[in-house]
Structure 1
Amino acid sequence: MLTSLPDTRDLVFVGGGHAHALVLRMWGMNPLPGVRLTVIDPQAAAPYTGMLPGHIAGHYSREELDIDLVRLARFAGARLIQGRAVAMDLSEQVVTVEGYGAVPYDVASVDVGITSDMPAIPGFSEHGVAAKPLGRYSAEWADFLERGGGDVAVIGGGLAGVELSMAMSHALGSRGRVSLIERGAVLAEQSDRHQRILRKELERWGVALHEQANIAQVQSDCVLLDDDTRVPADMTVGAAGARPHDWLAQTGLALERGFIRVDAHLRTSNPNVYACGDCCHQDPSPRPKAGVYAVRAAPILLNNLKAALGAGQVKAFRPQKTFLKLISLGDKRALADKGGFGPQGALMWKWKDHIDQKFMNMFRDLKRMAGPAVPAQVADGVREELGGGKPLCGGCGAKVAAGPLRAALANVTPTSHPDLVTGPGDDAAIVQMGEVTQVITTDHLRAFWEDPKVFARITTIHALGDIFAMGARPQTALVNLTLPRMSPRLQERRLAEVMEGITGALAECGAALAGGHTTLGAELSLGLTLTGILDGPARTKAGAQVGDALILTRPLGSGVIMAAEMQLAADGRDVAALLRAQVEPRTAEANALHGVHALTDVTGFGLGGHLGEMLEASRCGAVIDLSAVPAYSGARELLARGQKSSLHDLNRTAAPIDGLIPPEAEILYDPQTAGGFLAAVPQSDVPALIAVLKATGAQPAVIGECVAGPARITLR
């Protein structure tokens, strides 16, 4: 029986703008089988600009503005590549992503918005902040207010600058004054009626206007104009100078003043490339740069992209000639504008807020699509094993639990070999070959992230942990790769992505790829068999001594975050932060741990399980200070909400923890992928080791100590 259809085409979204966000949502509800969808964006969350003035004024939290691209990509079944597109080769059909490499496409769509000319102003890069992208501006504004505020200068007297000036004036109150600087006339693009209304509002907020003003330099405490006027500014915000991204000029696409020209079908001069949003210019019916057009274009863009991929016929996009603008007035009031007329006041703010919240709720209320239905009649235990319909975790969360594994190994009769020094029981086996002592280990993970390159890199770093834990130098790797069914062309692309992830990680750790095996199967999974060379005695789980400090080199929580991400329940920023940590190699971290009494890496059995193995091998107990155990951002909150990995409950059963176990201990059972090392260290060595580990980029923490007694863990 055919359970899934093979992928045959690559669709790549360059940018996470509003049009692409809406298309992703619609795609998730009705995807086109056979298409792998990729989204390229440097951020884990895309801010909705319509609520920016309200956020700056203090009416919305930062989180309320964000379209979570990680959740949205998971909902759409898309791969998210966090990086900035810097080039597009139309002949080779690849997009180049800074810090990532080439991303091939069959059909591409560009929705990257616009950028700013602000850095061209002398001193702005050092002393100013652009209103877009929002991330830095929001963070610096919050810090500015927390420090007590002060005077603010806004560069740019268009509608965006005016809205932000009033918003900041509202938030500052009596703690500072806002000045608005414009090289021409403020609000020149607005109707006479609205100019009068908005100028009166600016006066009401006490905003000082500097019109026909040219900036000579932005300084730390002012903006200096070319007539030597000093505009007081403890913070300078740029809200002008919007222009197309420079890299678009090198693509070979037809442009209009740097913006991508598109026809009535949103198709560029290249038939395989589409564009939407502020980055494009629609030839048949040019319109101002406004988000409403991107929103209205989204259904047409979706239809035409599917047509380009082989399903259906293209449709024309006919944008309306006028649209309603609702302009924030600082406090919870707004001015309506359509064709130069419209009311103002609190009712207009409520209307604006209703429209904005309705738009954002489309991305907040994403629900995981239901999996295959369970037959009415199944054997006892089937429903329990399915875990309430939750998908099986990827990474170490999909591993066989410690209990069944130990039971199976207990029935295996050990075999001897003159070259085998140690077999199962430690992180890796030790093999003696003449004068050379080698360690060998294997690991295999099912995919937990849609990007094969990132998944392969993390899996390789994870597998290398056993080599490092034994104190060996990585040597060689054999790969066992299963790819989902797909066309030969996509097989070639996926293999290239996976191999780039593997070989890059191996090279950084001093190892080489020696060969491997590939096959097609139900899903992407990757196994590695690794060898390493021991230049001295092996570091093992045995050897921990009473009184030793227990040091953990990385936070816990990767299992629950990855499990929640699959359920659309994790914050995309937490997922992105976890991935940034997981792709970092652990060579320097491992090398810093020479001289420790005992060492292991924390992986599938969680901290509780792996510490239990160390204690059993060392014949001692341990006391753990729960408050000292570090966790990745969001992990503890997810556990408190009932999220957990597939392996979590079985890890809890196997962990040798005594006494009353508080809810805070749940983090100890979380299976880790590319987790940290757990070391038993003499107390006298702790300060120096912590300093060295921090210098490598690790996040070490002293979480407890070894004590006399049975191999059990006590919590405090």
Structure 2
Amino acid sequence: MTPLIPLTRDLVLIGGGHAHALLLKRWGMDPLPGVRLTLIDPGPLTAYSGMLPGHVAGHYDAHTPQIDLVRLARFAGARLIIGRAEGVDAQAREVIVGARRIGFDAASFDVGVTSEMPQLEGFAEHGVPAKPLGRLARDWGVFRAGDGPARVAVIGGGVAGAELAMAAAHGLRHRDARVTVIEQGRALSETSPSARRLVLRRMADLGVEVVENAAVARVEADHVRLGDGRDIASDFTIGAAGARPQAWLQATGLALEDGFIRVGPTLETSAPQVFAVGDCAHMVETPRSKAGVFAVRQAPVLFDNLRAALSGGEMRDYVPQKDYLKLVSLGGKAAMAEKWGRAWAHPVLWRWKDRIDRKFMDKLSDLPDMAAPKLPEPVAEGVIEALGDKPMCGGCGAKVGRGALREALAGLPAQPRADVVTLPGDDAGLVITGGAKQVISTDHLRSLVEDPHLMTRIAAIHALGDIWAMAARPQAATVNLVLPRMSAEMQRRSMAEIMAAAREVMDAAGAAIIGGHSSLGSELTVGFTVTGICEGEPVTLGGARPGAALILTKPVGSGTIMAAEMARAAPGPVVAKAWEMMAQGQGRASEILRGAQAMTDVTGFGLAGHLSGICEASGCGAELEVAKVPLMEGALELAEAGTRSTLFADNMAGAGAVIRGAGGARTDLMFDPQTAGGLLAAVAAETAKRLVEALRAAGYPAAIVGRMVEGRGLRLV
């Protein structure tokens, strides 16, 4: 048997820039055993700078210039932390992300630069920085889709500002566009004379006005006020006045050059085993301009040197080229090329640039399927069938099927104690002590995300669901934890992150953590045993009556989305939204629904399975209106493409005699196993609308999804 290699080193990538994106792909194809890789970035997507002007001009849709960090992280076996790095403690070897501290043995910065202008009055409220690229890529599509005259101002008359201005003029030609470039000095001063003449002529042909030697005093919602009192009309103001370093780098303790991180030939900073690449780095011995071509060519050197730093190997130097071919979009499908002081333009250059840009994006989206470890020969009969044709899902998708669970529980002896009440079908039990009603439950999850902090939040919300479903107030919790095999230092780091997340959730729920147990195993598993106090009678599965309305507090689809994410088939924003939904607590929803006739949390058995449980315990039937069930963003499209959780077939069989009046992918999602799902409550019909309004006001995407009826069984309509 191949030994399980323990984790001994933490490598943290700060920022999802171009060099780090390329490194992730290389790491996925050739990882260093024993290293836990982490990527920290504010979002699930990062924009590719080379295609952004093309998107503004309308040549590319909103998705084409976006690099999907979720897919790359999955391919690389990395944990993705969606959050903005706010500091680095080089001495303690920690990255600060909000209230979190992420420990590292080696780290790399690729956070780019910013075009934000905090010193310019009104820019934060009414301006859009060209860098970081995410906001411009997101907001421009909304603006371009509008109607009526369009007025755009670009602050900054360098190559980047001119390129965006030409793209905006071309992209808004259907809206009677007026585009103005504002430059405090001489526009395009950093380019060669021939390039400057060519670009100015092209801007004039597109109707772009260039205002030179003009200082900006402030930015308003509909205009830019210049220092001399002139107003430039603008409904969309872009900041492109140079590349500024991220302000928070000042507090890192690293050696800086004008705010940029100083690096030597190996790309290492003043702190050992801390590196920096891309626009945020200043190459001390070979200074170069801020351009993406350098970040792309730094990637293989960074990959080799990080591996060397973590394995005791020799590093190599990065030697940048002295000059490079600059390809500048000219609004339409034409481009200018400049090198060695000469510039020329031709439509074929745009096609060349487009081919280069698409090749780069294909490199980050065409992720090969890495060969799975071969099975030994021979193996016992049934091994191949038990393994299945895809990896086992995490979260509730890894639960034991309902049929096997029922069979096991059916063999338990009758409960002899008068102070312990077994509630048929309910996951929580009831203990009565001195008249107080205490509910108790336990649950654990096989990890479905690599980030232990996020996984702990989801597992804690999931475990508390049984308490909230009985309208009880959470009281206490113990933590049950299995960590992958790792070094003592990494155990300390992981436990600190896990317990911080557990404290956040339990404190918000009003429960105290009173202890726990931990061990080492093959993979991360997080669980909680929780108790709660019922101030009144507990709400169980067995009280629903015909005519009651059914309310669901969260959309469904997490099992399908997580199954697709494991296969790198789910778009990053869809996955990130699902994570956010799973991490939403249900405490306030439980309070609002406290008077429900019956209630359950929707988890591993899926919505249909859990509703069947209410029907069985209550002795009546139900109609579930499939079209009214809210779905997580992207879940239906993934289900229509054939994605199913590994527990889907068990849920179909375990839900009983369900009458499927409706069919198709949407109906299949009713059997999708949910992790940390919403509450499903049967309430008096006359109160349903008011309760849904209260739930929505509290931040829950609640909906009325059906009703209880006479008879037996569940009908999907």
Map of 1:203-282 to 2, 5 A cutoff?
A: 203-282=204-283
What is the aligned partner in structure 2 of residue 360 from structure 1? Answer: 361
For residue 134 of structure 1, report the CA deviation from its aligned partner: 2.9
Q: How far off its partner does 1:32 sit?
A: 0.5
Structure-2 change in CA distance of 1:642 and 1:377 (3 Å) = farther
In structure 1, the residue matched to 2:103 is 104
Q: How does 1:367-516 map onto structure 2 within 5 Å? A: 367-375=368-376, 377-388=378-389, 390-423=390-423, 425-516=425-516
Deviates more, 1:118-127 or 1:496-505: 118-127
Match of 1:703 in 2: 705
d(CA) in 1 for partners of 2:612 and 2:425?
13
Q: Percent identity?
A: 51
Change (3 A) 1:485 1:598: same
How far residue 174 of structure 1 moved from its aligned partner, in angstroms, is 4.8
1:679 aligns with 2:686: no
Q: CA deviation at 1:660?
A: 4.4
Measured against aligned partners, the alpha-carbon deviations of 1:479-523 in whole angstroms (never above 9, x if no partner) come to 221111111111111111111111221111111112121111111
Structure 2 unaligned residues grouped into runs of 5+:
none
Distance in 2, matches of 1:646 and 1:107, equals 37
Distance 2:615 2:369 in 1: 41
Structure 1 distance, partners of 2:178, 2:361, is 32
- Look up the equivalent residue of 2:213 and give its one-letter code: Q
- 1:571-650 mapped onto 2 (5 Å cutoff): 571-650=571-650
- How far apart in 2 are the matches of 1:56 and 1:323? 25
Q: Tell me, in whole angstroms, the C-alpha distance in 1 between the residues paired with 2:221 and 2:251.
A: 36
| CA–CA distance in structure 2, aligned partners of residues 83 and 587 of structure 1 | 25
The aligned counterpart of 1:653 is: 653
Unaligned runs of 5+ in 1: none
CA distance in 1: counterparts of 2:620 and 2:376, whole angstroms: 49
Matched residue, 2:694: 692
Post-superposition offset of 1:379: 4.7
Secondary structure at the counterpart of residue 32 of structure 2: coil
Q: Deviations over 1:232-288 (max 9, x none)?
A: 212211111421111111111111111110000101111121111100110110000
Alpha-carbon separation, structure 2, partners of 1:384 and 1:59: 48
Q: In structure 2, what is the equivalent of residue 200 of structure 1?
A: 201
* Residue matched to 2:15: 15
- Distance in 2 between residues matched to 1:426 and 1:659, nearest whole Å: 25
State the AA in 2 paired with 1:294: A
> Does 2:290 correspond to 1:286?
no
One-letter code aligned to 1:347: V
Mapped to 2, the partners of 1:219 and 1:473 lie a distance apart of 49
- Give, in whole Å, the separation in 2 of the partners of 1:378 and 1:325: 58
CA contact (8 A) 1:57 1:331 kept: yes
Quote the offset at 1:380 in angstroms: 4.8
Other-structure match for 1:113: 112
Residues 561 and 634 in structure 1, CA contact (< 8 A), matched pair in contact too: yes
User: 1 CA distance for matches of 2:12 and 2:120?
Assistant: 35
Give the Å deviation of 1:707: 1.2
- The answer on whether the counterparts of 2:114 and 2:130 sit within 8 Å (CA) in structure 1 is no
After superposition, the C-alpha distances for 1:121-156 in whole angstroms (9 at most, x for unaligned) are: 222222222222333323332222222151111111
Name whichever of 18-27 and 425-434 sits farther off: 425-434
Mapped partners of 1:174, 1:464: distance in 2: 54
Paired with 2:360 and 2:309, the residues of 1 have a C-alpha distance of 28
Structure 1 counterpart of 2:310: 309
Distance 1:174 1:432, change over 3 A: closer
Q: Structure 2 CA distance, aligned partners of 1:523 and 1:226?
A: 61
Paired AA for residue 462 in structure 1: H
**In the alignment, does 2:188 pair up with 1:187?**
yes
> What is the CA–CA distance in structure 2 between the aligned matches of 1:385 and 1:424, rounded to whole Å?
31
Which shifted more, 458-467 or 89-98?
Answer: 89-98
- Matching residue of 2:672: 670
Q: Secondary structure of 1:188's match?
A: coil
Checking the alignment, whether the CA contact within 8 Å between 1:368 and 1:567 is kept in structure 2 is no
Match in the other structure for 1:135: 134
Cα offsets for 1:24-69 (capped at 9, x unmatched): 1101100001111111111111110100000011111111111111
Is the contact made by 1:117 and 1:241 (CA closer than 8 Å) also made in structure 2? no
Mean Cα displacement is larger for which, 548-557 or 619-628?
Answer: 619-628
What is the alpha-carbon distance in structure 1 between the residues aligned to residue 616 and residue 58 of structure 2?
55
| AA partner of residue 258 (structure 2) | R
Write the distance in 1 (CA, Å) between the matches of 2:498 and 2:709: 44
Counterpart residue type for residue 354 of structure 1: R
Q: How far did 1:77 drift?
A: 0.8
**C-alpha contact (below 8 Å) 2:560/2:638 kept by paired residues:** yes
- Superposed CA RMSD: 1.4
How far is 1:377 from its partner?
4.9
Hey, what's the Cα distance between the residues in 1 that align with 2:58 and 2:416? 70
Instruction: Give the corresponding residue for 1:297.
Output: 298
Partner of residue 66, structure 2: 66
Distance 1:626 1:671, change over 3 A: same
1:573-610 deviations in Å (ceiling 9; x for gaps) = 11111112222222111111111111000000000100
The corresponding residue for 1:155 is 155
Query: Residue 463 of structure 1 aligns to which amino acid in structure 2?
Result: A
8 Å CA contact retained: 1:326, 1:336: yes
CA distance in 2, matches of 1:267, 1:702: 57
AA partner of residue 118 (structure 1): M
Q: What do residues 651-700 of structure 1 show as CA deviations (whole Å, max 9, x unaligned)?
A: 11222421444112011011111100001111110121011111221110
- Quick check: 2:163–2:328 contact (8 Å CA) kept in 1? yes
Cα 1:651–1:367 shift into 2, 3 Å = farther
Answer whether contact 2:262 2:269 (CA < 8 A) is retained: yes
CA distance in 2, matches of 1:536, 1:117: 55
TM-score by length of 2: 0.97
1:184 positional shift: 0.7
C-alpha separation in 2, matches of 1:76 and 1:145: 36
For residues 531-558 of structure 1, give each alpha carbon's deviation from its aligned partner in whole angstroms, at most 9, with x where no partner exists: 1111110100111111111110000011
Q: Deviations over 1:362-396 (max 9, x none)?
A: 111113433222456545543333221x1111100
Task: Please say which of residues 362-371 and 499-508 is displaced more in the overlay.
Answer: 362-371
Cα pair 1:427 1:469 within 8 Å, conserved: no
Alignment deviations for residues 451-498 of structure 1 (CA, whole Å, 9 cap, x no partner): 111101110110000011111111111222111111111111111111
User: 2:96 and 2:414 mapped to 1: Cα distance?
Assistant: 52
Q: Compute the TM-score of the two structures, normalised by the length of structure 1.
A: 0.97
Distance across 1 between alignment mates of 2:394 and 2:368: 20
Indicate the residue corresponding to 1:545 in structure 2: 545
Q: Please give the alpha-carbon distance, in whole angstroms, between the structure 1 residues aligned to 2:685 and 2:169.
A: 55
Say if 2:549 and 2:684, in contact at 8 Å, map to a contact too. yes
Shift of 1:164: 0.7
**Partner of 1:63: helix, strand, or coil?**
coil
Aligned partner of 2:589: which letter?
A: E
Contact 2:116 2:239 in 1 (8 A): no
User: Measured at CA, do residues 135 and 294 of structure 1 come closer, stay the same or move farther in structure 2, by a change above 3 Å?
Assistant: closer
